[in-house]
Amino acid sequence: MSAGTQVHANLTEEQVREISDGLDEPDWLLETRLEALAALEDLEMPDVIRTPGRDWTNLHELDFESLVDPLNAAENKDQVGPEDAEVLPWSEAVADHEDLLQEHFGSIVDPQENYLTALSTALFSTGTVIYVPEGVDAEDVTVRTEQNSRSLFNYTLVITEESSSVTILERQSTGEEAAEQYYSGVVEVAAGENSYVQYGSLQNLSEDAYNFTVKRGVADTYATIDWIEGNLGTQLTKTEVSTTLSGDSSETQIVGAFYGHNDQHFDLDAKVWHRAEHTTADLVTRGITDDVARSVYEGVQDVGADAWDTSSYQRENTLMLSDESEADASPKLIINNHDTEASHSATVGQIDAEDLFYMTSRGVDPRSARNMLVEGFFVPVLEEIDVDELRDDLEELIGTRLRERE
């Protein structure tokens, strides 16, 4: 494949140098960007779910040459956190913490893993570094990004030192709407020994937008990384959330919720890699497809040969509100150690006719009954969200979408 031919026509080294110079970056980081740019010609698109005769997500059809405008990135961004933790815009992090950036940047998400990670590495012009020193409990870190340009490339790095904790709420939305936009986000989380990270994200971009996001974390001994992933916006979202449990007794939870309507398409990955002893993972995703929307989900629990005494659970449920919507789920369990307790399941179906009949027979009108069943469907996911603001916002957006439905 020569995926890079789609975008190379309007990308140059000079553009990448201008972005890097504007952020006053060191030479090693500029070199990383240039190497990613040069690699584009030879890199493949990210893997997508394939069923017989069908690729569910066709990234090759995106017109990157039109979507990517590297020197005209514009946004409104809030980066707020408590005083005892550092929540820094990328340019300030470059000036204040070059040593941390050099140690962690690209250590979890390979800049040249695929075409879209390389594109993001070469062109990102905005970002946030969240650094939580040893023993600090940092609550209510908020990062809000409002996209006001054709394309926006965002990078986030979270570093927690020993026995620290942080809760983060990230939002992406659209400000000045263009006909089509492209948002790319890369998130790396390095959780130190006995630290705790909860990273909640709510994506509500314009339904004319395209979104590629990868969020990955590595958990050290006794560390915990919990992800909450809410997706409602865009016409196409390709996203992955994953954790590597590299330290003994480390834990992770990945909670996902999505609601697609009209012609939206969601391609969602949730993955955990058990690489140490006594590790625990819980993956739970629930979503809706309506109208002619489509969703495809891939979940992976990979238990390594040295991952003794592993507990790993996964469940994914999709509810289709129309006959024309589509959904596919592919949970995978890979076990290389017999000392493992694990399960995985996935369901795709429509509202239970008996439940609907029961409610309407007791005087609830059909529309209200359907909406109540849908809201009840999301309860197991909403109950897992500890951040009140994120839970309330997600619940409100789901309710609004249901009320707008004819």
245 domain-assigned: yes
pLDDT given for residue 325 in this prediction: 96
pLDDT tier at 1, thresholds 50, 70, 90? very low
394 in any annotated domain = no
The SS3 call for residue 297 is strand
DSSP states of 37-94 as a string? HHHGGGPPPPP--EETTEES--GGGS-HHHH--TT---EEEEEE--TTSEEEEHHHHH
Look up the pTM and report it: 0.95
Domain housing 57: 13-350
Q: Is residue 7 part of a domain?
A: no
For residue 123, tell me if it sits in a domain. yes
Contact between 13 and 36 (Cβ < 8 Å): no
Beta-carbon contacts of 156 under 8 Å, excluding residues fewer than 6 positions away, are 127, 128, 129, 130, 143, 170, 185, 186, 187, 188
HSE of 316 in the Cβ direction (CA atoms, 13 Å)?
A: 23
Which span out of 43-52, 99-108, 349-358, 397-406 was modeled with the highest average pLDDT? 99-108
Burial of residue 4 (number of CB atoms within 10 Å: 0-12, 13-18, 19+): buried
Q: Is the residue at 373 inside a domain?
A: no
Give the integer Cα–Cα distance in Å for 311 and 175.
43
Q: What percent of the chain has pLDDT over 90?
A: 88
| Secondary element (H or E) of residue 318 | strand 310-320
If one compares 108 and 9, the residue with the highest pLDDT of the two is: 108
- 1: in domain: no
What are the residues whose beta carbons fall under 8 Å from the beta carbon of 41, sequence distance 6 or more? 2, 4, 5, 8
**pLDDT tens by residue, 186-216:** 999 999 999 999 999 999 999 999 999 999 9
pLDDT at position 6, please?
57
pLDDT tens digits for range 326-346: 999 999 999 999 999 999 999
pLDDT of residue 406: 67
pLDDT, position 361: 94
Distances (CA, A) of 143 to 189, 270, 394: 15, 22, 16
What angle separates helix 366-382 from helix 388-404, to the nearest 10 degrees? 160
Would you say residue 368 lies in a domain?
no
Asked if pLDDT for residue 3 goes beyond 60, the answer is no
Tens-place pLDDT, residues 141-194: 999 999 999 999 999 999 999 999 999 999 999 997 678 999 999 999 999 999
Indicate whether 7 pLDDT > 70: no
**What is the residue-averaged pLDDT of the chain?**
94
Total tally of structural domains belonging to the chain: 1
Q: Say whether pLDDT at 24 is over 80.
A: yes
Task: Decide if pLDDT at 4 tops 60.
Answer: no
Q: Name the more confident of 176 and 83.
A: 83
| In-domain check, residue 302 | yes
pLDDT at 405: 80
Tens digits of residue pLDDT in 222-267: 999 999 999 999 999 999 999 999 999 999 999 999 999 999 999 9
Residues forming beta bridges with residue 54, ordered by sequence position: 51
One-character DSSP codes across 108-131: SS-TTSSHHHHHHHHH--EEEEEE
Provide the CA 209 distance to its chain's centre, in angstroms: 16
Measured torsion, CA atoms of residues 195, 25, 124, 205, in degrees rounded to the nearest 10: 60
Which tens digits make up the pLDDT trace of 260-309? Answer: 999 999 999 999 999 999 999 999 999 999 999 999 999 999 999 999 99
Task: For residue 281, give both structure tokens.
Answer: 């993972």
